[in-house]
Structure 1
Amino acid sequence: MSRFSTIKFTRSDNALLNEVRALAGKKWSTDLDAIKRLRTRLRELQNHRCCYCQAPIESDESGFRELEHILPKNKSYRCTHARGTSNDQDKRRSTLGYQEFTFEPINLAISCKQCNNYKGMHDPLKDRTTARPLNKFPSAAQLIWFHPHTEKYETHITIDEDFGFTGQTAGGRAIIAECRLFDSEVLGRKFLERARVRAKQAESFRQAVDALASGIELKAFSKAHAIQTLAQERGIPTAEAKDIINKRLTYATSVQTMKQYFDSILKYEVNTI
């Protein structure tokens, strides 16, 4: 499951996009049939990954994924006109909302629950003094962070093998700041817990190693998360957990490595039962 670069609707999506736009003026609901189908299509186009952190969206259930409005659809609680039209960074969680784009498909993307919670009601329009309602959806240049429908993720944010996020542009750095992708504690809850669940579900030491290696290969979490999990959940030294994970990731490269790997598995399969 590779990471996605840009959300690209195709010509075959036009009927669905028009159906969603035709809902304008109605009360927002994720139970609307067209919205359900759009949510499914967005997950496909995003390779089942969060639009902000690229974490896997492993289930189409509440709590795993959110249908995110890039420009908030509603006015925030107790937002005054002065606060809602201010361009000061510390006032951007007060917004007048953009009801005109409630059913605009390019204002919608799939995010994980955690990123959606941290992003909250943050308003990314650069110039919020512009008269409302807006006549058309803003271009990427009119937003303080990158737009996943029109810009490549990797242009704005790079992710290293340990899921360290680096902003390559102001737009990328804005996403990292608002979704707290700089915070090791936040990332630990997001990725380390996923590794722990996989390890706990395994019925044997070998299954745990296989599950963790698969997670690394699918970019569900980092090698560091897998090593930490194997050491903690199976009660073995970190150095040995690292050696086993590395051998599992490369054991097919030589007969000797494969033998060493299975010798380690046999040792811990017995000692950790």
Structure 2
Amino acid sequence: MISKAVDYCKADQLLICAYKAIQDKLKDPNYWSHVELEKLKKRAKEHYIEEQKTHCCYCNMHQNSKNHRIWDLEHIAPRAKYAHFMFEPKNLAAACPDCNTHKGDKEVLVNTRRRTYPTKSEDFKIVHPHYDKYTDHIKHRRFVYVPVTKKGKYTIYLCDLLRFTVDFIGASGSASDNSFEDEMDAAFNAEDNQDLADLALELIELQLKK
């Protein structure tokens, strides 16, 4: 969980104030790509990479680098739908590009008509990095993600976290394919692959602890 949201400097606050003065219905989500925001975005990204200890806010995978090229500054409530939340500090986090791409602009709010930014965990359908402790909703070990709550299950689905298991066992399709369960069984029953056997045992252990 992120313990401290980004604090904007005075220069950033001037830009944000000018944006907030625009009527909500006229706010352009594409303003995020404007050149004058580059320094603001850089500072915010640096803050969240550091605050999250180089772990993606969705898959919780450790990225062994603070290089900005392997990180996205993520809008939890997507700016395409909620341009008025664009600069909300608690709507920002650092995500790996794959999770950010899979999540896209999918809906994450329970109340889609909110005009003020939500302040509680229950206001979100997904695990919120500012409001939720990751392990309260998702059990994660290596390449296995097991949902503990409905919110955890939705996050796994939304960000396609099963892609790690698919890649690890070398399945030919995605986790949504009908053949995926058969491929998982075949992989876990492979006697000559100790890594897969260990993975299967970890999955069973996590399920028993739910």
Q: With the length of structure 2 as denominator, give the TM-score of the two structures.
A: 0.65
SS at 1:44 equivalent: helix
Aligned to 2:79: 73
Question: Of 130, 135, 139, which residue of structure 2 is paired with 1:149?
Answer: 130
Aligned to 2:67: 60
Find the aligned partners of 1:45 and 1:20 in 2 and give their Cα distance. 21
Gaps of 5+ in 1: 1-5, 75-96, 190-236, 243-273
Aligned to 2:98: 114
Aligned to 1:99: 83
Structure 1 residues 169 and 21, CA, compared in 2 at 3 Å: closer, same or farther? Answer: farther
Structure 2 counterpart of 1:23, one-letter code: I
> Over alpha carbons, which structure has the higher Rg?
1
Gaps of 5+ in 2: 20-27, 171-191, 198-210
Find the aligned partners of 2:126 and 2:10 in 1 and give their Cα distance. 24
Matches of residues 1-273 of structure 1 in structure 2 within 5 Å?
6-9=1-4, 14-16=7-9, 19=12, 22-23=15-16, 25=19, 27-29=31-33, 32-57=38-63, 58-62=65-69, 64-74=70-80, 97-128=81-112, 130=113, 134-138=114-118, 139-160=120-141, 162-183=142-163, 184-186=165-167
For residue 55 of structure 1, report the CA deviation from its aligned partner. 1.4
Larger CA deviation: 97-106 vs 19-28: 19-28
Find the aligned partners of 2:139 and 2:167 in 1 and give their Cα distance. 18
Deviations 1:219-250 (A, max 9, x none): xxxxxxxxxxxxxxxxxx866xx9xxxxxxxx
For residue 158 of structure 1, report the CA deviation from its aligned partner. 1.1
Structure 1 residues 188 and 110, CA, compared in 2 at 3 Å: closer, same or farther? Answer: farther
Find the aligned partners of 2:109 and 2:60 in 1 and give their Cα distance. 23
Find the aligned partners of 1:41 and 1:147 in 2 and give their Cα distance. 17
* Contact preservation (8 Å) 1:65, 1:113: yes
Structure 1 residues 124 and 159, CA, compared in 2 at 3 Å: closer, same or farther? Answer: same
For residue 136 of structure 1, report the CA deviation from its aligned partner. 1.3
For residue 17 of structure 1, report the CA deviation from its aligned partner. 9.3
For residue 146 of structure 1, report the CA deviation from its aligned partner. 2.1
* Contact preservation (8 Å) 1:180, 1:186: no
For residue 61 of structure 1, report the CA deviation from its aligned partner. 3.2
Aligned to 2:187: none
Find the aligned partners of 1:17 and 1:168 in 2 and give their Cα distance. 41
* Contact preservation (8 Å) 2:139, 2:145: yes
